């Protein structure tokens, strides 16, 4: 496993800090505090993304998905995919993938203590290496490639660099998924964001970039294109607090655009 970089903040560890986790270092907390000053709503935004993940997983399981591939899964925290899925289907399966050593190490400890190696696994890999990730995920024998898979790309695509690679990466995963699979994406956007939050998030993106972290909010049309010809489940690509709010908690319902994140779930027919 690669050495942990303690000279620069890391997006996964900063996200963990915002969610109240402990798998972060002083440099992540200092950066997170600076970011929170520029973007006061960002801590709530992290929880909004986590809530969306939970609602999407519950929706997928209720609609026939029994196995998940979570790309850019981050540091384990409350409401991990397998934990959410198991509340509905105790035989559900999940493979987690992340390139951040701390995230992978903590996930391994969590699964060793509380998981089932026949049903859960974690991989240290770069999701941009599609073939390698797919082969390694299948090699765990946790996933059955002949059955529908729930592919999760939650709050990760806007951190990929170079951004020109993103459409091809997502398309490659779509092609590998068997029919009936579901693709879940949440992504930062500045489209139609209220002026106050827009100015704040623009300053936040610049802070990310100064720290060497790629951060690229994209327009709705681009984000929608990542689903390809997958059929979007109702209500389509929406602000996260507006997506299937009956499936679980949703912060910012009264001002959904303030989160600056949209998301959706597409089905491969």
Domain 49-192+217-267: assigned CATH number: 3.40.50.150
- The pLDDT tens digits for 221-242 are 999 999 999 999 999 999 999 9
Q: Residues in the chain with pLDDT < 70?
A: 1-3
Residue 2 token pair: 């690669």
CA 82, 102, 17, 39 dihedral sign is: negative
The Cα–Cα gap between 31 and 34 comes to 5
* Model pTM score: 0.95
Task: Give the pLDDT score at 131.
Answer: 98
**Nearest CA among 265, 223, 266, 263 for reference residue 48:** 263
pLDDT at 3: 64
Residue 2 has what pLDDT? 59
Cα angle 26-29-34, degrees, rounded to a multiple of 5:
125
CA distance 48 to 267: 23
């Amino acid at each position: 496993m690669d050495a942990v970089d303690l000279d620069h903040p890391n997006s996964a560890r900063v996200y963990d800090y915002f969610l109240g986790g402990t798998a972060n270092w002083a440099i992540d907390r200092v950066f997170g505090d600076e970011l929170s000053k520029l973007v006061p709503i960002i801590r709530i935004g992290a929880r909004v993304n986590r809530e969306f993940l939970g609602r999407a997983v519950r929706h997928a399981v209720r609609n026939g998905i029994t196995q998940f591939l979570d790309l850019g899964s981050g540091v384990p925290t409350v409401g991990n995919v397998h934990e959410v899925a198991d509340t509905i289907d105790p035989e559900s399966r999940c493979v987690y993938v992340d390139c951040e050593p701390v995230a992978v190490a903590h996930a391994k400890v969590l699964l060793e203590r509380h998981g089932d190696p026949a049903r859960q696994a974690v991989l240290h890999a770069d999701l941009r290496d599609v073939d390698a990730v797919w082969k390694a995920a299948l090699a765990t024998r946790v996933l059955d490639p002949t059955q529908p898979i729930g592919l999760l790309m939650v709050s990760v695509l806007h951190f990929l660099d170079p951004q020109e690679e993103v459409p091809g990466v997502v398309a490659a995963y779509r092609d590998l998924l068997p029919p009936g699979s579901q693709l879940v994406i949440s992504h930062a956007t500045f489209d139609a964001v209220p002026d106050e939050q827009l100015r704040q998030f623009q300053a936040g993106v610049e802070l990310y970039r100064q720290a060497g972290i790629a951060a690229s909010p994209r327009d709705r049309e681009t984000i929608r294109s990542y689903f390809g010809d997958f059929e979007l489940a109702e209500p389509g690509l929406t602000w996260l607090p507006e997506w299937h709010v009956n499936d679980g908690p949703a912060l910012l319902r009264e001002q959904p655009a303030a989160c600056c994140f949209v998301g959706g779930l597409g089905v491969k027919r």
